[in-house]
Every structure is written in C-alpha cells, then in structure tokens.
Amino acid sequence: MNNMPVNNVPLIIIAVVFLFLIIWFFGTYNGLVRLRNYVRESWAQIDTELKRRYDLIPNLVETVKGYATHERQVFEAVTEARNRAVASTGSPASQAADENTLVRSMRSLFAVAENYPDLKANKNFLKLQQELINTEDRIQAARRFFNANVRDFNNRTEMFPSSIIAGMFGFKREEFFEVEEVVVRAAPVVKI
C-alpha cells in the first residue's frame, strides 16, 4: 500500500522546509542586489542631468554679464556655487546641499535678469533659459525616479525578514536626493 516508511516523513518535511529557505535566501539576496543596482543606475541619470546644467550655467552667466555688468557679486556667487557643485562627489545629501546653494544663486541671477528688459527679450538668453527649464524638468524626473528606487531599496533592507539578509551582507540604507528647483514657476494670473 504505502511504500514510504513512516519514519521518512519528518525527513521529507525538513528537506522541503530547507529547500524553501534556500530559495527564499537566494531570492531575497538577488532582490536586494537588483534594487541596489537600480539605485546606482538612477543616480547616474541624475549625475548626467546635473552635468548638463553645469554646462549651461557659464553661458547663461556670460549672457547676463553682457547686460548687467555691475552685478559682479551675483556672477561670482553663481560661478563659485557651480564650481562647488561640480566638485561635489559625496553622498546624495551632501551633494543636495551643494545643489541647493547653486539653485539659490541661480535664482539671484534670474532676479537680476528681471531688472533688464532688453536682456529678457534677448533670443540667446531666452533660449538658454528655456534649455535650463528643460534641464530642471529632467533633473526633477530623474530625482523622483532615484528617490522611488531608494525608497524601495530601503524598505527591503529594513523590513523583516529581508532585513536579516541585508544585515548579513552589509546592505546599507541609501539617502534620498532632495533639491530645490532653479526656476520657480508662478501660477498664471487670470483677470476677470
């Protein structure tokens, strides 16, 4: 009738449980590696967009300088903030601090530009400004993608039982990247 001796049933149960634990272990570890790689890949996208912004800034400063020569301290602040941001290679939080300094200096530059109607009508300035707006949109999209990947990775490294595997293999919590936008867009005013 039954070919299997009764004393083999516990061994089979132990083998099935052991097999399940091995599959869970490797699946969890590989999931953590995949999420960590997503975080790294999405950081590379942010880095690409930031470099694009860094390349635009000197052209924008030079264009504004042509119209507002007596605003030297604003130009120096933008140049210094840009150089600091370019050189920043620390954690996302430390880079975000440098980026926010750059953003604030860029806002000062745009405030200066507001005082010069000829500059605001200059095609080169308008083109650079539009390019910067497009770049800012791309930075914000890359930032949202990066932060979503960081959130998923952090959830996986902190939630039980995957936190056990994360701790065993040194998976550490990642930092979010929070930066301000350079161009503050005002809501359109509707007059009735």
Provide the percentage of residues in the chain whose pLDDT is more than 70. Answer: 92
Whole-model pTM? 0.80
Question: Cα dihedral angle (147, 152, 155, 160), rounded to 10 degrees?
Answer: -170
What is the chain's length? Answer: 192
Confidence of residue 186 (pLDDT cuts 50, 70, 90): very low
Does residue 57 contact residue 82 with C-beta atoms inside 8 Å? yes
pLDDT score at 23? 96
Give the tens place of pLDDT for each residue, 21-62. 999 999 999 999 999 999 999 999 999 999 999 999 999 888
CATH number of 7-168: 1.10.540.10, 1.10.357.10, 1.20.1440.20, 3.10.620.30? 1.20.1440.20
Distances (CA, A) of 134 to 85, 110, 137, 183, 192: 19, 16, 5, 10, 31
Does residue 120 contact residue 69 with C-beta atoms inside 8 Å? no
Counting beta carbons within 10 angstroms of the beta carbon of residue 135, is it exposed (0 to 12), middle (13 to 18) or buried (19 or more)?
buried
The C-alpha angle with vertex 39 and arms to 35 and 45, in degrees rounded to 5, equals: 140
pLDDT score at 183? 61
Lowest-pLDDT range of 2-11, 76-85, 137-146: 2-11
Choose among 150, 110, 176: nearest CA to 102: 110
Segments making up each domain of the chain, as ranges:
7-168
State how far the Cα of 160 lies from the Cα of 21, in Å rounded to an integer. 15
